[in-house]
Amino acid sequence: EGGIHLAGVSKRFRTRQGETLALDALDLDVPEGEFLAVVGPSGCGKSTLLRLVAGLMPASSGSVQVFGRDVAGPVTELGIVFQQPVLLDWRDVLGNVLFQAGIRGLSEAAFRDRALALLRQVGLEDFADRYPHELSGGMRQRASIARALLHDPPLLLMDEPFGALDALTREQMRLDLEALWMRSRKTVLFITHSVDEAVLLADRVAVMSPRPGRIERLLQVDLPRP
């Protein structure tokens, strides 16, 4: 079971002003192989949802399961892409992608061919030996997508991956991501505030309400796929 299962999940943050309820008794099932987009206004709990699924912080109550197991700490069998690509300045693009193997205690040399193939898929084959400061924002984000996919994770989490990009780059990235995902059929949780992007990419769209922490609607997308 490669999906995501949330039941009655709440998340409270204690702040100086009191308490913020970021997620309010949320139920959500993402079956294995589904591409689910989560849309909603800023502050409705999208990032919190993703962080709980990734095991980057604990829920206040309720059950979060990934791959059929309770999440009790950082989940290593997934790939994450954040809005701001975080790359190591002192490593070239190939080195940054290979870092994903390194931090898992795997041999970087063994992943070299796969890393180069992924860089080809994201259109960075000619930039493997460039350094992050030599790349545009879109290219850095492509590199971080390649890095997230290096260990072939069954689950990919993306938090506004195109949020920092200009419209043209965004459109091209969307097309590329669609092509990549079509080939891999991973389970994807994709956070965005763009309804267009959600509808174009996803199988289903969860719409979160401005009253933080609730899913208002779950929509099935029936667009013909290439």
Closer to ligand ADP by CB, 5 or 51: give it: 51
CB of 105 to ligand ADP, least distance (A): 27
Torsion of CA 116, 122, 126, 128, to 10 degrees: -50
Which residue, chain included where needed, has tokens 């059950």? Answer: 63
Q: Which residue intervals of 41-194 are DSSP H helices? A: 46-54, 93-102, 112-121, 137-149, 167-184
How far is CA 146 from each of CA 60, 112, 226, rounded to the nearest angstrom? 33, 12, 22
CB of 43 to ligand ADP, least distance (A): 4
Task: List residues near ligand ADP by CB under 6 A.
Answer: 13, 15, 20, 22, 40, 42-48, 83, 160, 212
Q: Which H/E stretch holds residue 195?
A: helix 195-201
CB of 38 to ligand ADP, least distance (A): 8
Closer to ligand ADP by CB, 20 or 194: give it: 20
CB of 143 to ligand ADP, least distance (A): 20
The candidate with the shortest Cα–Cα distance to 178, out of 23, 222, 186, is 186
Closer to ligand ADP by CB, 83 or 184: give it: 83
CB of 7 to ligand ADP, least distance (A): 19
The candidate with the shortest Cα–Cα distance to 47, out of 19, 11, 71, 101, is 11
Which residue, chain included where needed, has tokens 């898929």? Answer: 121
Closer to ligand ADP by CB, 45 or 153: give it: 45
What's the sign of the alpha-carbon dihedral 72, 63, 67, 96?
Answer: negative
Closer to ligand ADP by CB, 46 or 147: give it: 46
Which residue, chain included where needed, has tokens 């079971």? Answer: 1
Residue 201: both structure tokens together? 């990419």
Closer to ligand ADP by CB, 24 or 178: give it: 24
Which residue, chain included where needed, has tokens 């700490």? Answer: 73
Closer to ligand ADP by CB, 46 or 186: give it: 46
CB of 58 to ligand ADP, least distance (A): 12
Distance, C-alpha 156 to centroid of its chain: 5
CB of 96 to ligand ADP, least distance (A): 22
